[in-house]
Amino acid sequence: MPEPGRLVLLRHGQSTTNAEGRFTGWCDVALTPRGADEAVRAARLLARAALVPDTVHTSVMRRSIRTADLALAELDRLWVPVRRSWRLNERQYGALTGCRKHEVRAREGAERYRWLRRSLHSRPAPLAAAELARLRADPRYAALRPGGVPATESLADMTARVAPYWADVLAPQVRRGATVLVVAHGNSLRALATVLDRLTDDEVRGLDIPTGAPLRYDFDRALRPCVRGGTYLDPVAARAGAAAVAAEGHS
């Protein structure tokens, strides 16, 4: 049996709604120029660490897809197989989608705001019926069972949808020795980290994933992380980015 491969988690580069301080959720938005630069910089970090991917996985949202495309182009690996799945989509923020974070914090209060963003079990109010119907008619989600597009999600809900993707798709590739790159979203990567590291509720609340910062996981033969929480390829920049994510909505 070959030695296990490596898993690299990469949150997409800054999006237009990230820059505006809004809850994005399943709203399909573009990268900013800074976000595109972050994707290229992430690719250079991967090359420097000899982590050129054998296979890539993205959500079905353009900010994830575009980040992966830019990174693969920088690595001269546009031919690498890419698989896209709604299971890697961002959290469905329901009625919070599109809202400015500082306005939600002012309205709900600091503790409720923190709970809505970071707790394992809190769900925002559901998406409006018309918006939910539009999403359910989107051809990207045609394969989901009727009503399968969620109206709102907690991180626990997300963990339940991400866990099968790890078990059935990602883990077998890592077990075969591949270097696997997952380009997704802050909360889908938090959910995946929850599965990999078996995070407690308190640990989940304290986890912030910065944009454009590759996070490396190595595994033992039982596919347990060698380093709990993984290792950022640029830990200084990642700490600064995570602190900025934690501070969103506070000004």
Report the catalytic residues. 12, 90
Strand partners, 179: 6
Provide the 10 A C-beta neighbour count for residue 133.
11
**Using CA atoms, how far apart are residues 251 and 247, in angstroms rounded to an integer?**
8
Cβ atoms of residues 155 and 126 within 8 Å: no
**Using CA atoms, how far apart are residues 209 and 242, in angstroms rounded to an integer?**
6
Cβ contacts of 218-226, under 8 Å, gap ≥ 24: 218/4, 218/6, 219/4, 219/5, 219/6, 219/7, 219/174, 220/4, 221/1, 221/3, 221/4, 223/4, 223/171, 223/174, 223/175, 225/196, 225/197
**Nearest-5° Cα angle at 46, 42 to 52:** 130
Strand partners, 231: 216
Sheet hosting strand 55-58, strand order edge to edge: 82-84, 55-58, 179-184, 6-11, 215-218, 231-232
- 177: amino acid identity, one letter: G
Q: Taking the CA atoms of the chain, what radius of gyration do you get in angstroms? A: 17
